[in-house]
Copies of this chain bind each other. A is one copy, B any other.
Amino acid sequence: MSSTRPDLPEDGILRYFSMAFCPFSQRVHLLLAAKNIPHHKIYLTAVEDQPTLVESLIIAEYLDQQYPHPRLFPTDPLQKALDKILIERFAPVVRAVYPVLTCNANAPPDALQKFEKALDVFETELTKRGTPYFAGQTIGIVDYMIWPWFERFPSMKLNTKQRYELDAKRFEKLLKWRDLVAQDEAVQKTALDVQLHAEFQKSKTVGNPQYDIAFKGKL
């Protein structure tokens, strides 16, 4: 929890600083889980410097190099560069959906349209790749790096007036992919329930963010 700074043992074990509901932190958490990397978890109420898409990706790449089992980035350098560029193309999805996802009353009226347009890139790419995962027949880095937002999207059904859901036809491949990724062990280890995500966002919107609800029944 976040009330006092915990004593951190000097044991050389990785320290994972995180805010329980932060999707960028979850990216790193997914790698720690997928690779079974021993680590201490330290939860903060807010991350001081807002973590950026880019920094979590840099950390992920570093961890993949230092802990290569299983290898999550492509080993082919060109494919690796292309996958990293694809991951960066998720930034417009995040930017557009953020005000809706976080129940911001001032969300631009065309936010959801922009979000869907940005998400089309991923539906198209998955169709083009013709594989169940972006990485191929097994899960890989693109899948993990974009997952945290797919875990949060369903909270829009609970938190928006129009009970927003991804269109079953427009995002057919992505929705299949989502059901598949949801079964992944690392994803399940780091997952929070959609009700919790929705509840946290609402608490944040009214100016009283309930970080600790992530640990309900786990104390």
For A59-101 the 0/1 string (1 means CB < 8 A from B) is: 1011001100000000001101100110010000000000000
Interface residues on A, range: 10 to 19
Q: Is the interface of A mostly helix, strand, loop or mixed?
A: helix
Contacts of A65 in B (CB 8 A): 77
Tell me, rounded to whole Å, the shortest Cβ–Cβ distance linking A20 to chain B. Answer: 23
Looking at A52, A54, A77, A80, the one whose CB has the most chain B CB atoms below 10 A away is A54
Docked Cα-Cα span, A120 to B66, in Å, equals 32
Chain A interface (Cβ < 8 Å from any Cβ of B)? 52, 54-55, 58-59, 61-62, 65-66, 77-78, 80-81, 84-85, 88
Report the 6 A-B pairs with minimum CB-CB distance, sorted nearest first.
Answer: A62-B81, A54-B88, A58-B84, A65-B77, A58-B81, A55-B85
